[in-house]
Copies of this chain bind each other. A is one copy, B any other.
């Protein structure tokens, strides 16, 4: 993509009504635009990042046998009344009347998925079953000031698992935990598996995936020695106490909950009569698990964790572009033509080879503006083509997360970038 054609320009200052680092940075860099508190538009750059995260999530869900489907956001009261959650969720679920009918916007999808599954399964042979969707959810947040971390409309991957036995649920729960670890790792985040409240349905813990950062809304107690971690909401320890698992010291950290997984047991199957016929001929309630991860929240968490005072520093797998070429305008027209020709050749070859490249081809922008914008945007690799680099038949190479730049010969640059992308 040529920057001159890209929609969504950088801004010198962040909007005064944005408090969170993620919203300030992402808005300044032209990735998102606030439409109301808690609801953002994703401009082309932000849309690319969000899509990269969704792709990673989908790949890991497919890898553990997940089948993707898509449910509506619009809900009638009907199924939610079966579990009593139409009333229970009233504070967080947008609910309204239309043409005499009570409607709502889904904050989660247990009731609809259980309804669908009860239409389609009958026997133990239909189990286990893993269904997921990547879909936009709604939540009537009283305050929505944390940018992408706490939206009124947000993207969510929700997977539901259906089992014959508790052991089978346990097995899949472990698989899902590993899949989640992979997702966070691929997204460049270090997420800590944290014990949390199991909710109303079980005395067991649920597990959250917490990303440590000073701006987090959650508090966790964490043992760096053995990895033991509990959410403050359930913890019976405090900072400095001995770890109940290994005896080393526990630290208190602020963190962002970026995913959570629950054993639901038979709560929903029971209320909504989701049954199967077992091999002994008896009708039994299906055992369920649910697994949530928010692509938009992950995007916000990455922005919180992966930035410096100059701007965003995208992990490679989620970056909107892998490489950002800057052409620095020279005073001399002939030299400018040479610069553009060299950059254009690199840009074409990389693009054809499948590398996502942004080329800042603006003729009216100064070197300083281009360098600042590149740092703010945060593509992992910056390549500069200028009069100075061409004198040495070279391109300046600099990784966003490193301080030092180096020179790469023109004839080697395409191969070197391609190798770096595959690393």
- Point out the residues of chain B lying under 8 angstroms from A39, CB to CB: 72, 74-75
What B residues does A120 contact at CB under 8 A?
7-9, 30, 43
With both chains docked as a complex, state the minimum distance between the C-beta of A113 and any C-beta of chain B, in angstroms. 9
Q: Is the contact region of chain A dominated by helix, strand, or loop, or is it mixed?
A: mixed
Could you tell me if A36 and B94 are in contact, using CB atoms closer than 8 angstroms?
Answer: no
A119 surroundings in chain B (CB, below 8 A): 33
Contact flags A62-74 to B (C-beta < 8 A → 1, else 0): 0001011111111
Which of A96-104, A180-188, A315-323, A375-383 is near enough to bind chain B? A96-104
Is the beta-carbon distance between A50 and B69 smaller than 8 angstroms?
no
Interface size on A, residues (CB 8 A): 50
Query: Is there a chain B Cβ closer than 8 Å to A170's Cβ?
Result: no
Chain B residues lying within 8 Å of A33, measured Cβ to Cβ, are 116, 119
> What residues on B are CB-neighbors of A8 within 8 Å?
69, 120
Q: Taking the complex as formed, is A419 at the interface, i.e. its CB lies under 8 A from any CB of chain B?
A: no
Asked whether any CB of chain B lies closer than 8 Å to the CB of A83, the reply is no
Most chain-B CB neighbours within 10 Å: which of A39, A74, A142? A74
- Asked if A73 meets B42 with Cβ closer than 8 Å, knowing A8-B120, A119-B33, the reply is no
Check A129–B7 contact: CB distance below 8 A: yes
Q: Does A136 contact B (CB under 8 A)?
A: yes
What does the 1/0 interface line of A108-152 toward B look like (CB < 8 Å)? Answer: 000010011001100000000101000010101010000000001
Q: How far is the CB of A13 from chain B (nearest CB, A)?
A: 13
- Interchain nearest-CB distance for A207 vs B (Å): 25
A78 at interface (Cβ–Cβ under 8 A)? yes
| List of B residues within 8 angstroms of A5 by Cβ | 65
User: Do B35 and A71 touch across chains, with their CB atoms under 8 A apart?
Assistant: yes
Q: CB distance A71 to B41 under 8 Å?
A: yes
A96–B79 alpha-carbon span in the complex (Å): 21
With A9-B120, A120-B9: A70-B42 Cβ-Cβ less than 8 Å? yes
Contact between chains at A96 and B96 (CB < 8 Å):
yes
Q: Is the CB of B152 within 8 A of A74?
A: yes
A46 to B33, CA, bound (A): 32
Chain B CB within 8 A of A76 CB: yes
Which listed residue (B41, B73, B99, B116) contacts A136, Cβ 8 A? B73
Given contacts A99-B140, A142-B99, contact A74 B7 (CB under 8 A): no
Quote the shortest CB–CB distance from A406 to chain B (angstroms).
33
Complex CA gap A113/B188 in Å reads 32
Q: How far is the CA of A152 from the CA of B103 in the complex (A)?
A: 11
- In angstroms, Cα B96 to Cα A152, docked, is 15
Q: Are B73 and A73 in contact (CB under 8 A)?
A: yes
Closest beta carbon of chain B to A196's beta carbon, Å: 27
Task: Report if A239 contacts B (CB, 8 A).
Answer: no
Neighbouring B residues of A140 by C-beta, 8 Å: 98-99
1/0 contact string of A21-43 vs chain B (CB within 8 Å) = 00000000010010110011111
Q: Are B99 and A138 in contact, with the CB atoms below 8 A?
A: no
Residue of B nearest to A364 (CB): B125
CB-based contact B99/A94 at 8 Å: no
Q: How far is A185 from B196 in the complex, measured between Cα atoms in Å?
A: 53
Quick check: is A201 within 8 A (CB to CB) of the other chain? no
Q: 5 new A-B pairs (CB below 8 Å) besides A35-B112, A36-B72, A73-B136?
A: A8-B120, A30-B120, A43-B120, A50-B70, A94-B103
Q: Which 8 A-B pairs have the closest CB atoms?
A: A96-B96, A39-B72, A36-B76, A42-B70, A41-B71, A74-B153, A72-B153, A44-B67
**Residues of A participating in the B interface, judged by any CB pair closer than 8 Å:** 5-9, 30, 33, 35-36, 39-44, 46-47, 50, 65, 67-76, 78-79, 94, 96, 98-99, 103, 105, 112, 115-116, 119-120, 129, 131, 136, 138, 140, 142, 152-153
22 intermolecular pairs with C-beta atoms under 8 Å apart: A5-B65, A7-B131, A9-B120, A33-B119, A35-B71, A35-B76, A35-B112, A39-B72, A39-B75, A41-B69, A41-B112, A42-B69, A43-B69, A43-B116, A43-B120, A44-B68, A46-B69, A47-B69, A72-B153, A94-B96, A96-B96, A99-B140
